[in-house]
Amino acid sequence: MNKIYGRKPVLEALKSDAEIEVVYVAFGQHGEVINQIFSAAKKRGIKITQLSAPKFDSLAEGQNTQGVIALKSSQKYFELDEIISESKRTKFPFLLLLDSIQDPHNLGAILRTAECAGVDGVIVTTNQSAPITDTVEKISAGAVSHLKICKVNNLVHAIEKLKKEGFWIAGSHLTSDSKNYTELDYKMPLALIVGNEEKGIRKLVAENCDFIIKIPMKGKIDSLNVSVSTGVLLFEILRERNI
């Protein structure tokens, strides 16, 4: 059982098909979002329990909850075939692959941006990756509840399958041979790969990419935080496809 902390994350979970067991609200909470939470929970037949301050604080365990906590069944993961099939309903299928993202704050921020950019699914690695925790859920602002997320043991095997299904693979990696990220035509079935906070995408993963792209750096620091660079790439792809 996972806890979802915060008004917006809980509301987004209620709006999705996430399996919410119960919502706890601290006595005295008011406002538009609180009203929306009560309405959404009632619509789905989900119980809301109001708790006294001591009981609520005990449940919160020191987290910043904004007076709202939901209990959700374990994170649902989709099969790769399922995500591929669903993505092909769109004009230009678009998947995001995360190669060993280990910081839960980065993972949450990336998932939030991915949902806002309209990706069809996110593929994460089983090993050496941050799990979907309460922190990830909160940082994602509820995006976890709306995304189709798949866990794979071998990212290279997943890439090979995607290629057979007609996807082109673009990896974000800063090398001398990388293309400027604005030079690529993204109007195609696409899987974008971003890598580990320190090492980037792994060598074998990079070797299996059709394109290696980079964001040019103009300052003295030669790299961006992975969640920031992912946002830049996702919205460039979105912009280019909408021209």
Q: If you search the block for the tokens 């043991």, which residue do you land on?
A: 153
Instruction: Give the side-chain half-sphere CA count within 13 A for 18.
Output: 33
Contact 37, 22 (CB under 8 A): no
Q: How big is the CA angle at 6 (ends 72 and 120), to the nearest 5 degrees?
A: 60
CATH architecture for residues 2-72: 2-Layer Sandwich (3.30)
Interval 151-210: pLDDT, tens: 999 999 999 999 999 999 999 988 778 999 999 999 999 999 999 988 899 999 999 999
Sign of the torsion angle spanned by Cα atoms 84, 89, 182, 234: negative
Structural domain boundaries in the chain: 2-72, 80-241
R_g of the chain, CA atoms, integer Å: 19
**Per-residue model confidence as pLDDT tens digits over 89-141:** 999 999 999 999 999 999 999 999 999 999 999 999 988 899 898 889 889 99
CATH architecture of 80-241: 3-Layer(aba) Sandwich (3.40)
Q: CA torsion, points 193, 194, 198, 202, in degrees to nearest 10?
A: 0
Angstrom distance (rounded) from CA 42 to CA 202? 47
Cβ neighbours around 180 below 10 Å, total: 10
The closest alpha carbon to 94, from 114, 124, 119, belongs to 119
β-pairing verdict for 2-5 and 68-72: antiparallel
pTM: 0.82
Q: Cα separations (Å) of 197 from 88, 133, 200, 230?
A: 30, 18, 6, 11
Residue-wise pLDDT for 159-175, tens only, equals 999 999 999 999 998 87
